[in-house]
Amino acid sequence: MITVVGNGRDKFTEYGYQKATEAVKSIIDSNPNEEIASGDSPMKGIDYLAKTLTPPERYMNRPPNYATCNVGFERFRERNLQLAESRIVYVIVSDNYPPEYKGERFLYCYHCLKMNRNASNHCKSGACWTAMMAIEKGNKAIWIIIPNKEVKI
C-alpha cells in the first residue's frame, strides 16, 4: 500500500491544482499493482484527487475519526498513524499560498523543521506529520512540491 496525501484544495491555485492532479495520476499509474490509500480530508485537495482518480478496487479510504470528542488534530492523529504504515507516503504540497488564500499562513512548515528538512519551500501540511511518522516506522516518504505559479522559460 502506498499513501497519497497533501495540501487541501484552498492551498492550490487553478494552475497548481492542475499540476497536482497530474502528479497524483502519475503516482497511481506508475504503481499499477499497489493499493493507494488517502485520508478523505474534508479540505478536499490531494485526498480528493487520490480518492477520485484511483480505480475503486485499488483505493483504500482512511477517513478522519469524526466520532471522537477530540477536536482539531486529534481527529486526524489515529488516521494519520494508519496511513504512516504504508510502504511509501507521498506528500504533495504547494510551493506557496495562493493570493486569495483565506486561512492561516505559516512562514515555514513546523513538521518539516522538526525533521531538519526544507521547511520554507512549501505550505505546511498535516501530510508532513504523517510522513514524519512513516519515516520513524522505517517507511519511505517522498515530497512533491507543486508550483502554484506557471514558470515561463
Q: How far is the CB of 12 from Zn ion (least distance, A)?
A: 15
Closer to Zn ion at the Cβ: 60 or 115?
115
Closer to Zn ion at the Cβ: 36 or 92?
92
Closer to Zn ion at the Cβ: 6 or 98?
6
Q: Which residues contact 95 (CB under 8 A, 6 or more apart)?
A: 16, 121, 122, 123, 145, 146, 147, 148
Q: How far is the CB of 53 from Zn ion (least distance, A)?
A: 23
Q: Cα-flanking dihedrals φ and ψ of residue 42, to 5°?
A: -65, -15
Expressed in percent and rounded to 5, the helix, strand and coil fractions of the chain are 35, 15, 45
Q: How far is the CB of 2 from Zn ion (least distance, A)?
A: 19
* C-alpha dihedral (105, 108, 113, 118), degrees to nearest 10: 140
Closer to Zn ion at the Cβ: 61 or 147?
147
Q: How far is the CB of 35 from Zn ion (least distance, A)?
A: 25
Number of residues written out for the chain: 153
Q: Name the nearest CA neighbour of 41 among 14, 78, 79, 68.
A: 79
- Name the site residues for Zn ion (rule: CB under 5 A): 109, 111-112, 128
